[in-house]
Amino acid sequence: MGYDYKNGKKRIDNILTDSNDAKKANPIPTEEKFTNKNGYYGKVTSIFVDIRKSTKLFTNSKKNSVAKIIRCFTSEIIEILNDSNKIREIGIRGDCVYAIYANQTKQDDLDVFYKAVYINTFLKMLNKTLSKMKMKNIKAGIGIATHEDLVIKAGREGTDIYSKIWIGQGVTYASKLSDMANSKNKKVILMTSEFYNSINELLFNNNSVLSKSKFEEYSVKPFDLFYGCELYISEFNKWIDGGMK
C-alpha cells in the first residue's frame, strides 16, 4: 500500500488546528448546510430498531428466506420512520433500521414515540404473516433517545466518501437501548428518561387512555433511569387479530 504518511501528518495537523467551532442550531440543519469543516449542535431525537439474535438468523437459516424477511423488515419500518418533515437521517446499519430527527417540541417527540408503537404493531403483523407461510419469526428491540448532540460531516477531503457523525447521547443511547430491548425481560420499546420526560405530559393528559402502569422503570449502566413499554396501535392490532382481511 502506498500511503503517504508525511502528507497524512499534514492533514492531521490541519484538522487539529482548525479554528472553526461548532454552532448552536435549533433545529439541526439539513444536509446541504454541512461542510467538512463546520458542525452544529442542537436537540436530536433518534429511534433504532434492531433484530434480536440476527447472527443466528443470518447464518443458520435459508438465505433466500432471510433475504425476503429482511426486505419486509426494512421496507415497512423505513415507510413508518420516513413520515416526518423533521427527519435528518434515515438508514440501515446491518440488522438495524434507524432514523434521526431534528425535533423541537414535545409533540415532535410524541410523534416519534407513536412511530415506535406502529413499528411494534407492524412486527406482530409481519410475524403472523411469516407463520402462515411457515417461515421463521423475528424479534426486534426498539430504542429511543433525545439529547443535545454535536453533528459533523467527516470523511476524506477530495473524495465523495463522507458521512454525518452524531456525537452525544441522542443517537448512541438509542442504539444501546435498541440492543437491550426485547431481551432479558425488558420491554420491546425502551426510551431514555429524558425522552420519557419530554412526552409524559402529553402522553398521560386527561384525554389519554394510557396509564403510567403500562411503563416499566429500569436502571442499568450507563443509564440512571430508562423506561419501557409494549404497546400496540389499537385499530391496527384489531385488524391483525381479526385475520388481516
CATH code of residue 79: 3.30.70.1230
Residue 6 lies in a domain: no
- Whether residue 165 is contained in a domain is answered as yes
Which pLDDT value is given to residue 66? 87
Containing structural domain, residue 174: 21-30+37-240
Answer yes or no: is 3 within a domain.
no
Residue 1 lies in a domain: no
Assigned domain for 142 exists: yes
Q: What pLDDT is stored for residue 222 in this prediction? A: 82
Give the model's pLDDT for residue 176: 96
Q: Is residue 226 part of a domain?
A: yes
Give the pLDDT of residue 61.
Answer: 66
pLDDT of residue 177: 97
Which pLDDT score is estimated for 118?
97
The reply to whether 14 falls in a domain is no
pTM of the model: 0.91
Q: Is residue 7 part of a domain?
A: no
Q: Which of 125, 130, 4 is nearest to 66 (CA)?
A: 130
Query: What integer pLDDT is reported at residue 58 of this predicted model?
Result: 73
The total domain count for the chain is: 1
**What pLDDT is recorded for position 207?**
61
Q: Which residues of the chain have pLDDT under 50?
A: none
Q: In this predicted structure, what is the pLDDT of residue 206? A: 60
